[in-house]
Structure formats: C-alpha cells, structure tokens
Amino acid sequence: MSKRAEDIARTVQQATTAKALPPLESWHPELSGDMDLTITRDGQWLYQGAPIAREATVKLFSTIMRREEDGEYYLVTPVEKWRIKVEDAPLLAHSLEARGHGEDQVLSVTTNVGESLEIGTEHPLEVGHYPGNDEPRPVILVRHGLEARLVTAAFYDLAERVVERDVQGEAQLGVLSHGKFWKIGQGG
C-alpha cells in the first residue's frame, strides 16, 4: 500500500476510539484530489488496480467514507478529503436474519465489513432498479449517504419473508421489520 493510504489510515486511527465511528459529520476539509481507489460492483476494493489485502484497512476505510450531495464518494479525515470511485454500492449485505414474527419481526443483515444492520428507520430498505433494465437493486442505507446492496442470496432470503399489504388501495409486496412495512414491489 502506498504511503498516502497508510497516512490516511494512521490519521483516522488516531482520531477515533476503537469502537466509535469517526465523527465524519464534523470533518469538512477541502478536496485533496482523486485517489486511485475503486470499489467494484462485486465488493472488491482496488487500490492502484490491485486488491487491498488487509481486511482491517478496508474496514477502516469504510468508516471514513461518505457520499456527498454531488453523488460522489469520498474518504474523509480531519485534514484530507479524497474522491474515490464506486461502481455500484460501496458495501454488500449478506446473511439475512430474522427475530420475532409479524409486526414484531426485526430483520438484520451483515455487511462485507462486518457491520450488523437492522432494517428500520435508521437503516431503511429500498428496492429500486438498475437504469435501463428491470433488475432489482435492493439496498439498505448505512450512514453518511452510503448504501449496502443485498447480495442475491440475501435478496432471495428476503423474498421468502414477503407479505402482501393493501397500501392506499393498491396491493404491495414487502417485508416487515421494526413494525414497519418495507415495500419491495407491486402485488398481484
């Protein structure tokens, strides 16, 4: 890994505690430039075209990433802000789990960086479509404009929990989590 990436990792480690997320909402440095870091659609993190080998580095970088109003993704520290490329969603969600039943059900997923997210108001589920086709794009909001896309297996697991509800006179398909109906598609 280059000196610049190592310096960013060191700066973030010094600015945060072991378990707390960095306070990105209070960090507003000027743009430092473009970093040759790409997160591929399948979740690989490539730095200068090569996969980042250290899982700890990927986890750390995921905590300092945000998507801003311009639609671009950035790695942010108190003194640096680097634009990076993300091909789809920066994180992947897998391992759907359910606790409880009906209105009391809570659905959760685990991201590829080890975070557990419960589908609810803090981490809402949205199922859109990719531009130009009808392929579903199920995502969960993580934080700071970042999304975790459900991998195919997790989406199929979610589909097994679908219920049909009448929403404003229209049949809708969705799942229940934290007492709320999360729309997945149109009903029959």
pTM: 0.86
Residue 176 and residue 118 share a domain: yes
8 A C-beta contact, residue 53 and residue 109: no
Q: Pick from 23, 51, 86: which residue ends a domain?
A: 86
pLDDT in tens, 102-155: 899 999 999 999 999 999 999 999 999 998 888 899 999 999 999 999 999 999
Domain that holds residue 70: 3-86
Beta bridge partners of 94: 110
pLDDT band at 185 (very low <50, low <70, confident <90, very high): confident
For residues 47 and 60, state if they share a domain: yes
Which residue(s) pair with 80 in the sheet? none
- pLDDT band (50, 70, 90) for residue 30: very high
Residue 94: is it exposed, middle or buried by C-beta count within 10 angstroms (0-12/13-18/19+)? Answer: middle
Q: How many domains does the chain have?
A: 2
Residues 65 and 40 reside in one and the same domain? yes
Indicate which CATH number applies to the domain containing 55: 3.10.540.10
3-state DSSP helix/strand/coil % of the chain, to nearest 5? 20, 45, 40
H runs (alpha helix) in 94-136:
none
Structure confidence at residue 62 (pLDDT): 97
What pLDDT score was predicted for residue 17?
A: 43
The CATH number given to whatever domain includes residue 104 is 2.30.270.10
* Per-residue model confidence as pLDDT tens digits over 55-108: 999 999 999 999 999 999 999 999 999 999 999 999 999 999 999 998 999 999
Q: Over the chain, what is the mean pLDDT? A: 91
Same domain, 73 and 155: no
Structure tokens at 103: 């209105």
